[in-house]
Structure 1
């Protein structure tokens, strides 16, 4: 306690431990899975950025979205070592470290959701309306669309750091019950946003499959329709598999009878699954561009 009077030492120590109580034990499964996601996500997205920025002889409009998606995924994975350290050592991390780490993950998770939707929309427009002047003009605004994605993602997630929080509920870094995202208004806004983007992706995927099936080029085998189907399956699978469980858990938090420790565990598990998209997104790159496929 340094130079503090002896009578104040118990009070200070009590306050410190009440505001930061480490978890009961380390979680090896979380440590291992987050380590795998971090390693694969870092390597694959760095390779993707190198290919898109240095090795592509033709820079298509779709690669603009993919460059931004790779950057978003890299920003997500750089936040994971804090979680790996926490689940392996159970240290007493400061509130600001925990909140900024969670903010970075949430920001880039929704950035990925928007950008995956943009990729599906762009491919759909390119195939369904290849000669439409307005569509071509809109597709050329890819840089500004990506800027809008970053702004919207920041506007929807940065308030998590400035919102009023119950400081007495902060017992451990990543094991505490989420406060901001489980608020009714915030939770419903996140679920509505996800549902709209999911609908857009499904409609674009259906339209793309329909256009390819009806095209003369596909019937004459001038285009690789199998590759296009693989691209669509990869995008939709990543989108649903990574993000749907997380949003279903947010919905469960709005049902009073489902509030339990098991739901908190489910939240942490689905957040890990959502983080896995950073390592899976390179599949979308592989199937969506001829350049990337040639380089692999």
Structure 2
């Protein structure tokens, strides 16, 4: 008989832990877990689906329609929004699963788990790339002029999507449906006799590849960016950096708790934290932190809307255009402030900046 385990992921926050070999090892689960699952998660996932879908589609619409993906940063922003949409598309399935059981079949079980990890890794990859892009634009402005093109950004993005899918392959392979009592569940079943090794591998993969390495790169980039801006103050560069910093900070604010819990799960699997009460606390923690991390899929559009003046102007222009109203500023260049507005400061392209400035 195959053994199903509860390696941390969005699908497993709706399950109990059946990874222990002996029935006597099972801990009695808290009733609060069921309340959280059946009452809170379906509502949260449904709301996130609506707002995440509308917000990220709007971002993609603005990037493609108004900014025409003219720079490398535009390409990365498009891919960040696309990564968030991966989460969003799985939410209706997860909302039903949280409220009842898995009714969507074995293929969708694999797809939803794969989407979760692919979206997770691609998000952090592209946010890291945005930080590197800002580093090149600010610290190595002259050298970056010929490097930071939309074509190169597209090629790099394609490679990173392939890497994200490759890293997520075990989840496509090992997730499957199974019966638990009278309910049909969606869980992960690793190859026989390698259960614990695979769990540790995937959990450390999330912590190292999806958190510690990107965090180190981002800290390096922004430490040098701050030093460069202190030496030579540049308003346009500073504005462009602020938005990317905000996107990065929000990402780590909402994903750090999840990574901490995943690390604690690894300590549990290594029998360093081998206590029934700790197991119950981790069961609660993985549910809460995973739900928090999913809120992130709605936040980037809100950041652009409130922190990006040009983004708001692009949205207004799009709605006016589609409602039959032609803005008198329609012919203004994307890299310029509307020339018909005497109060707007003219945006002069600054060496080393990119079309990221258009959303600031």
TM-score bin (small chain): 0.7 to 0.9
How far the C-alpha of 1:53 sits from its partner, in A, is 0.8
User: Residue 136 of structure 1 corresponds to which residue in structure 2?
Assistant: 145
Q: Could you tell me whether the CA contact under 8 Å between 1:128 and 1:208 is conserved in 2?
A: yes
What do you get for the CA RMSD once the two structures are aligned? 3.3
1:155-194 per-residue CA deviation (whole Å, 9 max, x = no partner) reads 10022122488968897646x6897897112222221112
Distance 1:79 1:73, change over 3 A: same
Structure 2 residue matching 1:78: 3-state secondary structure: helix
Q: How far, CA to CA, are the matches of 2:225 and 2:296 in structure 1?
A: 23
How far the C-alpha of 1:153 sits from its partner, in A, is 0.3
Q: How far, CA to CA, are the matches of 1:169 and 1:161 in structure 2?
A: 21
Aligned partner of 1:197 among 210, 214, 218:
214
* Residues 1:206 and 2:223 aligned together: yes
User: Residue 234 of structure 1 corresponds to which residue in structure 2?
Assistant: 246
Moved more, 265-274 or 241-250: 265-274
How far the C-alpha of 1:280 sits from its partner, in A, is 1.4
Q: Could you tell me whether the CA contact under 8 Å between 1:41 and 1:74 is conserved in 2?
A: yes
Distance 1:266 1:178, change over 3 A: farther
Distance 1:68 1:57, change over 3 A: closer
How far the C-alpha of 1:237 sits from its partner, in A, is 2.0
* Residues 1:47 and 2:58 aligned together: yes
How far the C-alpha of 1:229 sits from its partner, in A, is 5.9
Moved more, 250-259 or 111-120: 250-259
- The TM-score with structure 1 as length reference comes to 0.77
* Residues 1:272 and 2:291 aligned together: yes
How far the C-alpha of 1:40 sits from its partner, in A, is 1.5
Distance 1:212 1:293, change over 3 A: farther
Structure 2 residue matching 1:139: 3-state secondary structure: coil
Structure 1 residue matching 2:70: 3-state secondary structure: coil
Q: How far, CA to CA, are the matches of 2:38 and 2:124 in structure 1?
A: 28
Q: How far, CA to CA, are the matches of 1:33 and 1:116 in structure 2?
A: 25
Number of residues of Structure 1 aligned to a counterpart in Structure 2: 266
Q: How far, CA to CA, are the matches of 2:189 and 2:218 in structure 1?
A: 28
How far the C-alpha of 1:232 sits from its partner, in A, is 4.6
Structure 2: unaligned runs, 5 residues or longer: 1-17, 19-32, 316-360
1:243-276 per-residue CA deviation (whole Å, 9 max, x = no partner) reads 2112111111122325613312322222222222
Moved more, 36-45 or 283-292: 283-292
Q: How far, CA to CA, are the matches of 1:196 and 1:207 in structure 2?
A: 17
Distance 1:280 1:178, change over 3 A: farther
